[in-house]
Structure 1
């Protein structure tokens, strides 16, 4: 089936620790993607080493074609042993999704994986197996579009113990919360971040354990096409607009000159929108056939700032990113975070003299630097990015 595997993960460090004892590793093969979440014994440096070793070994060996038996056996025999507790331990969950939609799951002592279809939690049939003293649970089934798989470390289930909740968040409570999130949110990032934010609130912003959520959502591909800046060769103006209009998905034009080129080539009027005014972001405009028209470098810079804050925040209380705002940067950020799986960027290489002014703030100095930051953020969000220089 034709689908996009949307993968996102977010973590909270145990309060007072600089390193997280949980680790997520993602590996791609020609016909599949492998996601591993490992939770090291304890917290801090030792737990971080244990989980990093486990996730790296599992992802690398499975990517190279090793069996689950070989992989688990290697993990058991590789982890360093704690001198105090005489244990070398890391729990883990492995998810392997093939391009045909088949999913293979291996769980070892992590909380059971959450599987949501039609906004409802469904049971997964599992088979118990013993590998070198490790009890693992295997499952295999076919995925459908809009299915959601969520892996968590035990910090999620324990959230609130001794504080907001006496016994912590039980698995069933987390399942109910994930049902609501999956119903309301489109992207894996919003679901994983929503659950992590809820855990942080239950911990009263002082997590008692490393807490990690990895979410996988099977999505219909959503393509966003962005044209920014005039081409270096004016003869390419017509070609770029023709390619933009032939493309599937949303069409966005960023930049005054780019908007004038689109207006001219499409023979459609460029109309400035004065209904919504923001003191920090220039107004948007309208061109028939284009979904969003914004100013260039300043709006892109503000959108990058909003996306960064969204990715970094764990409180759920955003000061910069507000998906309900109607300025160009907020609309662009919301589209790229929530309504995009693939992004095609047509970037004009013509130099705008205004952006070379040394009196301008550094974040406005060079368009290509801003575009580079945007590309990096999009790839971190798991988007498929294609950059076309013109």
Structure 2
């Protein structure tokens, strides 16, 4: 796409040198083009309706018949003028003498076409007001004998309105695009190429940003998850130690409770005896305690775990920086396209090597 853009720019530069043009082409946007086309359509509709009102005089089908006849004349007057102006009269601006002569010839053709067509319409209006049949022959006779003699002032108004619309259509055709023939097309292709290149660059940039942000978010999630898991692990280890201590304390409590019960029994027993109590009454009860230890085989110490997690989080931070570096490197490579494949007259040619 970058090479294509360079070729398009070279084409424009070559066109300007060849035709000795020292300005940019005047390319209208979509809004301006729409307005110009809309103007032609509005004039066509207005003239067709106006002509239909005039030609309805004497037409046996009335307004509908007049409008039907007027549509063809309005199309010739508006769109015929536009075609002659856009493809013919514009050649006057060309540097070539032959093209200039063709443009002058086209302008002469336009004058004959516009005057002849609108005079014929005016005469047709004069004739249609008096005859229902044979109007075409009378128009041809009047055009050959007295082309500028009209009986009715409305016919002159008819002629002036058609000629005005024709002139406006001619101006619209000359300003529809750049005045120099073909220059607007070259400029439009260049601008389309630039837009396509910029849009593709923007799309790739956005994709890169999405990839960068996605991986950055994943690594940040992993780092946060490690911190959470470390806290959970420390809580589990602490709770396990607490449970072991509670179990040892519970066994001591059971032993004390047993001795308290036994002492109550022995005291009652000793009071009830006539003989001395046995020697064992002086010995305290000893519970056979169970020794419980946590199996820590394969477990990480808290210090090692903290150290390892800190190393991993440092690695993740370095990877995030690496992702940003890779992103910036790729963006710089995109920018280098403008140096490796520069547009004509832009950048140092030595960079192309």
More strand as a share of residues: 1
TM-score bucket (shorter structure): under 0.3
TM-score where L is the length of structure 1: 0.20
Larger relative contact order, structure 1 or 2 (CA cutoff 8 Å, min sep 6): 2
More helix as a share of residues: 2
State the structure with more CA Rg: 2
TM-score where L is the length of structure 2: 0.22
